[in-house]
Structure 1
Amino acid sequence: MMVSNSDKKEKVLVVDDQKRNIQIVGNILSKGSYELAYAFDGKAALEKTKDQDFDLILLDIMMPKMDGYDVCNQLKKDSKTKDIPVIFLTAKTDIENVVKGFDVGGSDYITKPFNSKELLARVKMHLTIHQQRKTIIEQKDKLIALNTSKDRFFSIIAHDLRNPFMGLMSVLELMTKFSEDVTPEDITFYAIHLKKSTDNTYRLLENLLEWALLQQGRIEFNPEINDLAMITETNLNLFENLAEKKEIGLVNRIIPDTLIFADDHMIATVIQNLINNAVKFTPTHGKITINSRPIDNDFIEISIADTGIGISASAQKKLFHLDQKYTREGTAGEKGTGLGLVLCKEFVEKNGGKIWVKSEVGSGSNFKFTVPMRSC
């Protein structure tokens, strides 16, 4: 059963070399909904923070071998623990020791003997502040990601969408200026060029629209039982002419009546984009094979493998990410933006699956993704 963030208990580490103090603090905090962990010295406390995540640390100052100041100092140097609030437990209330605690990164201090109401109030306050800080950081990261996506989106519109139109305008200008000298062969040549350019532009516009609607939450999501073989065959047919021109073989090895539980439009878009890329980056006389296999009776793995030019390891890291620009021409000069793979990742994950690629330069690429076999 999934545990929501609101139901998850906040985790508090109590560090004190005196067992009696541990018991007192534990009894007081048991009145709150906290998950407690204990350590009897500084070294043990640092070890616990390596393999466990804590929301707050209550730390005794006077301990043998490594006192609380040293422990706190170590915590603040570690990127994993530097943001965990530390409340010192101390009998020392003189200004010098209080200031020293703050200097090493402490958030607060509580004096011994403990007042249960004060302890609970301070723990609650610092956990609230810590949670609010985490929320702010998460929101900041989301805003940065959104801003990066927006910049990339406008870059595609300004550059990748502008270039095809410039090509169209150039061809039309030539045909207009020299219309009297244009032969039927010239018209055929220009028509093929215009068709190729408009097809690429239309596919880019489709991907841009789909991606924009998805980001706005305006695209419908209707998962249901679908025949994967039928979806695949329908999309393969769209590329028959293009594959035939490059003399590329298209093979569909998906068994009829292979059922998946997914949004048929989204999965069709994924398959269409992956086939388009395979055709684009496969040279003449190559081959593209689409296959599937069940995984643990819960998911179907679909693979679209080609005998194309392959992708380097460094380039593979840039795929599926809108903020990582990676584009190159196909084997026949076809253009691309990388947006199709970003859309594939969004659609696959929306349906509860994963997408990845295995490829080597000169040895082709194998794009794989998973979708559920039934309702989750």
Structure 2
Amino acid sequence: MESKINRSDYKILIVDDVVSNVLLLKILLTNEKFQVCTANCGNMCIEQAKTEKPDLILLDVMMPDISGFDTAVILKKDPATADIPIIFLTALNNPSDLVHGFQVGANDFLTKPFNKEELVVRVMHQITLVAAKRLIQKQNDELRATINNRDKMYSVIAHDLRSPMASIRMVLNLLVSSMTPEMIGPELFELLDKANKESEDCHDLLDNLLKWTKSQTGRLNVLLQDLDLKDIIPGVVDIFEMIAVTKKIKLQLSGTNAPLVVRADNDMLKTVMRNFISNAIKFSPENSTIEIDMDVEGDFAKISVKDHGVGIAPERIDSIFHKGESTYGTGGEEGSGLGLQLCADFSRKMGGDVRVESVLGEGSVFSVLVPLKK
């Protein structure tokens, strides 16, 4: 780090009421290629610190107007000068003075009379820390700008592509539902059917992407209201009925007969359920059943989606809700992993949580817990 530091980029403020001490330090540090400014008392030091904005202050302890220790206290109280490191110049070297110095904000001590090598080593140590801090700050700023640009890009992609994708999806839905293999030939019908499924997946991904970006950038408001799951979950299941039928999968909804009223965000809850059911269909073999169940667990309503599909390897279970890993369904469908991150994010924003249980080769159960109305 030290070899990369350009000393002429750093300014040192020397503060001592003895003119000969100031001159000696100024000559030594100027020869070492540092920028130097000077002050001859505590009050002048405080003024110089604000106007010159030095990177380091060499501060004499014994001064006639206010002591170096009292000067340091004033510097540390002002946000404009609080972060400037201070090396105290002192003839005192008893432990209580050192302790006091560190209490008022000393970064180091240099005992008079000092030799040139010790001075340079102690100064360079502080300057190296300043340089490292600046580098971290610069990298933080760059990272923040990168994240902002990424979120903006995600939002533009999702927002601008969602509308045309919705139109393509609608047209393909219409074509597939009104055509038969006999009308256009089995090969063309299969291609059309594949395009229809892919347009569904693409639209869902864009929808998730837009919601994820809004959630991450704090532009997604959580609107909690009292909702009866009986009014919401059957509607979500119905949406997937046609898709499930084309893959020869049965959707089976069960649960308590009594009203199950939760305190949740309607859109967020539907998004979680859509992702769970869509994934279950993706990972289920033909002629299997997906069971959607609504139940009560303590202060929460628990909605579970159980499939009899490929299952999840034990080592992946812990990370499935927060790693954007791609996974592949039984029809070769690729999942982005984004949907599950979104489910975890949304359920926690509503004061609930998500769970997964799975046996490799036997199937998985994805559950969302939502607070019951109090």
Shorter chain as normaliser: what TM range? Answer: 0.5 to 0.7
Contact map agreement 1:200 1:335 (CA 8 A) in 2: no
Structure-to-structure mapping, 1:272-287, within 5 angstroms:
272-284=274-286, 285-287=288-290
Post-superposition offset of 1:266: 1.1
2:87 corresponds to: none
Post-superposition offset of 1:310: 1.5
Instruction: Give the RMSD, CA atoms, in angstroms.
Output: 5.3
Structure-to-structure mapping, 1:291-370, within 5 angstroms:
291-294=294-297, 297=299, 302-313=303-314, 319-320=320-321, 324-328=324-328, 330-355=329-354, 357-370=356-369
2:208 corresponds to: 207
Q: Rg bigger for which structure?
A: 2
1:288 corresponds to: 291
Change beyond 3 A, Cα 1:22–1:99: closer
Q: Following the alignment from structure 2 to structure 1, what is the Cα–Cα distance between the partners of residues 337 and 251?
A: 24
| Matched position secondary structure for 1:221 | coil
1:239 corresponds to: 240
Contact map agreement 1:288 1:307 (CA 8 A) in 2: no
Contact map agreement 1:229 1:257 (CA 8 A) in 2: yes
1:223 corresponds to: 224
Change beyond 3 A, Cα 1:373–1:164: closer
Question: Share of identical aligned residues, percent?
Answer: 25
Structure-to-structure mapping, 1:94-173, within 5 angstroms:
94-102=115-123, 105-106=125-126, 138-146=140-148
| Matched position secondary structure for 1:365 | strand
Contact map agreement 2:357 2:364 (CA 8 A) in 1: yes
Q: Decide which of 91, 99, 106 is 2:111's aligned counterpart.
A: 91
Q: Following the alignment from structure 2 to structure 1, what is the Cα–Cα distance between the partners of residues 372 and 134?
A: 39
Q: Deviations along 1:2-43, whole A, 9 cap, x unmatched?
A: xxxxxxxx9xxxxxx9873576358757xxxxxxxxxxxxxx
TM-score of the two chains, using structure 2 as the length reference: 0.53
Post-superposition offset of 1:210: 3.5
Q: Following the alignment from structure 1 to structure 2, what is the Cα–Cα distance between the partners of residues 205 and 27?
A: 56
Post-superposition offset of 1:305: 3.1
2:183 corresponds to: 184
The residue type equivalent to 1:101 in the other structure is R
Unaligned runs of 5+ in 2: 1-82, 84-92, 173-180
TM-score of the two chains, using structure 1 as the length reference: 0.52
Q: Following the alignment from structure 2 to structure 1, what is the Cα–Cα distance between the partners of residues 277 and 294?
A: 12
Q: Following the alignment from structure 1 to structure 2, what is the Cα–Cα distance between the partners of residues 320 and 141?
A: 24
2:100 corresponds to: 24
| Matched position secondary structure for 1:261 | strand
Post-superposition offset of 1:225: 2.0
Q: Following the alignment from structure 2 to structure 1, what is the Cα–Cα distance between the partners of residues 356 and 151?
A: 22
Q: Following the alignment from structure 1 to structure 2, what is the Cα–Cα distance between the partners of residues 338 and 263?
A: 22
Contact map agreement 2:154 2:210 (CA 8 A) in 1: no
Change beyond 3 A, Cα 1:225–1:138: farther
Q: Following the alignment from structure 1 to structure 2, what is the Cα–Cα distance between the partners of residues 333 and 108?
A: 54
Q: Following the alignment from structure 1 to structure 2, what is the Cα–Cα distance between the partners of residues 279 and 166?
A: 22
| Matched position secondary structure for 2:185 | helix
Change beyond 3 A, Cα 1:99–1:288: farther
Contact map agreement 1:357 1:365 (CA 8 A) in 2: yes
Q: Following the alignment from structure 1 to structure 2, what is the Cα–Cα distance between the partners of residues 274 and 339?
A: 12
Q: Following the alignment from structure 2 to structure 1, what is the Cα–Cα distance between the partners of residues 227 and 305?
A: 19
Q: Following the alignment from structure 2 to structure 1, what is the Cα–Cα distance between the partners of residues 221 and 96?
A: 60
Post-superposition offset of 1:185: 7.0
Unaligned runs of 5+ in 1: 1-9, 11-16, 30-57, 59-86, 110-125, 171-181
Post-superposition offset of 1:283: 1.5
| Matched position secondary structure for 1:239 | helix
Q: Following the alignment from structure 2 to structure 1, what is the Cα–Cα distance between the partners of residues 214 and 291?
A: 31
Change beyond 3 A, Cα 1:372–1:94: farther
For these two proteins, the number of residue pairs brought into alignment is: 274
Contact map agreement 1:320 1:342 (CA 8 A) in 2: yes
Contact map agreement 1:229 1:254 (CA 8 A) in 2: no
